[in-house]
Amino acid sequence: MKFEAITIKDIAKALGLSTSTVSRALRGSYEISAETRKLVLEYAEKLNYRPNPIALSLKEKRSRSIGIVVCEIANNFFSQVINGIESVAYKKGYYVIISQSHESFEREVSNTQYLASRSVDGLLVSLSTETTDLSHLNKLHDRGLPIVFFDRITEEMTTHKVIANNFNGAYQATEHLINQGFQRIAHLTISPYLSITKERLAGYKAALADHHIRYDESLVKYCKYGGLIDRETEEAVDSLLSGKKRPDAIVAASDKLSTGCLATLARRKVRIPQEIALVGFTNSLLTDIFQPPLTSIRQPAFEMGQVAMEMLIQLIESKHPVTKFETRVLNTELSVRASSQRS
């Protein structure tokens, strides 16, 4: 049976009033008596009446909805970002529609096109690992759709962006391992096209250079899908283990790569940190109960979501064209645990 929402016409018919009288009563118009207003509001509440969002969007020329595009919701980092987005959105009277690219460019394109077709007021986007062509987003942006990028951003579009200090996070992770006495440090990272990959690789290289350790390209392994495919992570770790000289430490540059690397090393019976130490970029709440507890670079995911949403609302609600844009950089935090400490 098809669901049919309660309408103003239904309330008017039940109460023997005109639709215009019911409409004014629901809006709290001074033209309607207090007695009639009370009657209408109580009946509307009894039937759980809610205004038709499509009708409202046509009237206000705004849907009060925001589209979110991420690679995967079942990712500690992105789930926390979404929580941050929602915390601001609902306070400001906006609803969110969440879509997942699963690291697929084609799915990212279809998701953004669908969201635009639903007349969202704006988009919050974190790019997929396959995305190198931004034409699908450029077309929407050129037509006036507000877009804010977060985490995985692009320099090809002029708009607000929110990122973590990826360079500093990777630098801290690498330097911490060097200070613990590790010298042959590998870097397990995502697609080379992503902004976060470039920034974290640069931080890793800079720490090595500042401590006079030669950069060895063979110690950098790219996992295009960032740990989404277990086999890809296993193959990258196995490649490091089977090299002429094993690394004595690894910096893993994403949430799923960090946990995937830890699991693979455990399956290969590699002792952590005695044989290989590990530092990961992860926002998992379980780092303390991993075996061993995982040293991590934690990103301000919740805050990132809040800031991105505030920036998007600014674009949506601005009375004049916005010409000044900002890239907000939020600090990361190194939490040292057993996986990286020499006994």
Same-domain status, 117 and 197: no
Same-domain status, 74 and 130: yes
Same-domain status, 160 and 72: yes
Same-domain status, 274 and 249: yes
Say if residue 331 is exposed, middle or buried (CB neighbours under 10 Å; 0-12, 13-18, 19+): exposed
Q: Which helix (H) or strand (E) holds 171?
A: helix 166-179
Reported as a single tens digit per residue, the pLDDT across 102-144 is: 999 999 999 999 999 888 999 999 999 999 999 999 999 999 9
- What does the mean pLDDT of the chain come to? 92
Looking at residue 17, which CATH number applies to its domain?
1.10.260.40
Reported as a single tens digit per residue, the pLDDT across 52-85 is: 554 544 455 567 999 999 999 989 999 999 999 9
Residue 158: the pLDDT is 96
Lowest mean pLDDT among 7-16, 142-151, 325-334: 7-16
Residue 161 burial (CB count, 10 A): 24
14 phi and psi angles, rounded to 5 deg: -65, -35
Residue 4: the pLDDT is 61
Same-domain status, 16 and 42: yes
Looking at the predicted structure, is the pLDDT value of residue 164 above 80? yes
Tell me, yes or no, whether 1 lies in a domain. Answer: no
Same-domain status, 152 and 211: no
Residue 324 burial (CB count, 10 A): 5
Domain total for the chain? 3
Residue 234 burial (CB count, 10 A): 17
Same-domain status, 95 and 220: no
Looking at the predicted structure, is the pLDDT value of residue 28 above 90? no
CA dist list (Å): 226 to 168, 258, 260: 20, 10, 10
Domain range enclosing 36:
8-51
Let me know the angle formed at the C-alpha of 221 by 217 and 223, rounded to the nearest 5 degrees: 150
Tell me, yes or no, whether 2 lies in a domain. Answer: no
Looking at the predicted structure, is the pLDDT value of residue 1 above 50? no
Looking at residue 318, which CATH number applies to its domain?
3.40.50.2300
> pTM of the entire structure?
0.83
Same-domain status, 83 and 149: yes
Residue from 231, 217, 220, 219 nearest 264 by CA: 231
Same-domain status, 227 and 325: no
Check: CB of residue 199 under 8 Å from CB of residue 164. Answer: no
Same-domain status, 99 and 147: yes
Looking at the predicted structure, is the pLDDT value of residue 100 above 90? yes
Same-domain status, 224 and 242: yes
